[in-house]
Amino acid sequence: MTKRSVEILDVTLRDGSHSMKHAFTKEQVRETAKGLDKAKVNYFEVSHGDGLGGSSLQYGLSLVDELELIEVAASVCEYSKISVLLLPGIGTKNDLNDAVKAGAKMVRVATHITEADVAKQHIELGRELGLKTVGFLMMAHMAPVEKLVEQAKLFESYGAEVVYVTDSAGALLPHEVTERITALKNELSCEIGFHGHNNLSMAMANTVAAVQAGATYIDGSLRALGAGSGNTQTEVMVAVLEKMGYNTGIDLYSIIDVANDVVAQYMPRPQEINGSSLIMGYSGVYSSFLLHTEKAAKRFGIDERDILIELGRMQAVGGQEDLIYEVAAKIAHNSSNTHTEAPIS
């Protein structure tokens, strides 16, 4: 007997932008959108990996303007609706207005776990524009449950219709997800969502825990294409949840087809857990830091894992990508001094 419906939101064309180095082409977006629409995915996200306005030297320049990609995706969809991510301080209200003109029907306003108050005007604008409006609490492992509830209540008070527990570092374990989702279900009236990363190989287990605890919005990415070790794999999630008796509304064969016949063909590399992404989950580092860290490690000739461990100790968060190079330079400098031989007396 079917238990209840779960809304799977696909983030391939947004979170996957990190792995693609923000170089999605119009054709890649068009064909992926067609496949998602055919599979009857209700919402999927299209924007720079760091949200609207994210194309920059600090976060990475987009190959194609995201508004053009939104337009392309919207133009081929008869069923699916386009979501966009907006991080206050990166994206602006003007960016959101432009995204709506391009075809966006949902906005997910994302802040650090302790900074929900910066999202008030953006959430209110989302509601004014008639968008499905979501609050997205990133790096959810970095605050106690009580703080999570406090911040989620702020989102709800601003008008968020869904509030997400976002495991940006892939650092949470299933019992921690259960604890957080349960707390929000008990304290909020709006719907609850979960966004997972697979740096500790916990994405699917965490997703199942979230659904069982009452989350009704769940993120996934085709072939797990996303930052770090990627996200919960959409096509696998559809199969798992259907086997558990949940109704996803997504056609399993069609979602497998777009994953294998489209996304797998343009992925730059398989999404796997390697030493560096594993350390990201272990030390609680923002998943989108991975490629920046690899680049810094090569530049300074050091072990990228050392950079990630230090970033985790510093509790670095999204928006602090410049710290990656500062930390790398410091480690290289200290290593050079350590290995300098003492003069013979």
Q: Is 333 annotated as a binding residue?
A: no
Q: Is 50 annotated as a binding residue?
A: no
For 2, counting Cβ atoms within 10 Å of its Cβ (0-12 exposed, 13-18 middle, 19+ buried), the class is: exposed
313-320 contacts, C-beta under 8 A, 24 or more apart: 313/283, 315/142, 315/284, 316/285, 316/286, 316/289, 317/112, 317/138, 317/139, 317/142, 317/286, 318/50, 318/87, 318/112, 318/138, 318/139, 318/168, 318/286, 318/288, 319/87, 319/89, 319/90
* Active-site entry in 18, 22, 112, 122: 18
The residue with tokens 């919005």 is 217
Q: Is residue 18 flagged as an active site residue? A: yes
CA distance 334 to 306: 12
Q: Is 112 annotated as a binding residue?
A: no
Q: Is 15 annotated as a binding residue?
A: yes
CA distance 296 to 302: 8
Return the structure tokens found at 242.
């259907």
Tell me the one-letter amino acid at 336: S
CA Rg, the chain, in Å?
20
Q: Is 168 annotated as a binding residue?
A: yes
Angle between helices 322-338 and 304-314 (to 10 degrees): 120
Q: Is 43 annotated as a binding residue?
A: no
Q: Residues annotated as binding site for Mn(2+)?
A: 15, 195, 197
Q: Residues annotated as binding site?
A: 14-15, 168, 195, 197, 286
Catalytically active residues, by annotation: 18
Q: Residues annotated as binding site for substrate?
A: 14-15, 168, 195, 286
